[in-house]
Amino acid sequence: MEAMAELPRVVVGLTGASGMPYALDLLESLQGLAEVHLVLSQGAKRVLWEEMGLSPKDLYPLASRVYKDGDLGAPIASGSFRTQGMVVVPCSATTLSKIALGLADTLLTRAAYVHLKERRPLILVPREAPLPLPTLRAMVQATEAGALILPASPGFYHRPKEIRDLLGFITQRILDHLGLSAERAPRWGEPPS
């Protein structure tokens, strides 16, 4: 009898930036594709409520495991905990700056630090606009450290008809960079599936 293949592990961090619909779309899209390890910052909890009317407990069914941001002893804080990668969505300017500087003072920033040091994919999805110079510099530093900056800035060549189409555009890019196969949005030059 063949053993079932384990799903790849993906760490997902939510921070206090606007853009929770992107996070929810990603979490829903990861169902059946990955074992999701979720951590929310304090700010994320507030924005989740403000933007979606949801509490962190509403996200529990979308994760294999949920961690407290203060639990620096959690498995995702160690490089020995193997993952396919990590996504911070939405990624606040403060969190992005901490990651760029290697400040690992919370579980979320520690997990990001671990992904950088282990040379695993770390995808940061900022949504703020306009971008001040300190944030632009932090983006460059994070990129130089090995992170991928993937702004929540959807394209329109796929002729979106609803918000879900715009969210899917970003989710598709995230999944591609994690090496996970899912068709969440049409690709340029390819007919829609």
Tell me if 189 is assigned to some domain: no
Q: Would you say residue 192 has pLDDT above 70?
A: no
Nearest to 37 by CA among 66, 74, 3, 69: 66
CA 177 to chain centre: 11
Instruction: Tell me the residue range of the domain where 101 lies.
Output: 9-178
Tell me if 191 is assigned to some domain: no
Tell me if 125 is assigned to some domain: yes
Q: Would you say residue 191 has pLDDT above 80?
A: no
Q: pLDDT for 28-84, tens place per residue?
A: 999 999 999 999 999 999 999 999 999 999 999 999 999 999 999 999 999 999 999
Tell me if 141 is assigned to some domain: yes
Q: Any known ligand binding at 106?
A: no
Cis peptide before 61 (omega within 30 of 0): no
Q: Any known ligand binding at 22?
A: no
pTM, two decimals, is 0.94
Q: Any known ligand binding at 55?
A: no
Within 10 Å of residue 193's Cβ, how many Cβ atoms?
7
Whether the CB-CB separation of 18 and 90 falls below 8 Å is answered with yes
Whether the CB-CB separation of 15 and 43 falls below 8 Å is answered with yes
Domain count, the chain: 1
Q: Any known ligand binding at 94?
A: yes
Q: Any known ligand binding at 93?
A: yes
CA separation for the pair 113, 121 (Å, rounded): 11
The CATH number of residue 133's host domain is: 3.40.50.1950
Tell me if 90 is assigned to some domain: yes
Tell me if 31 is assigned to some domain: yes
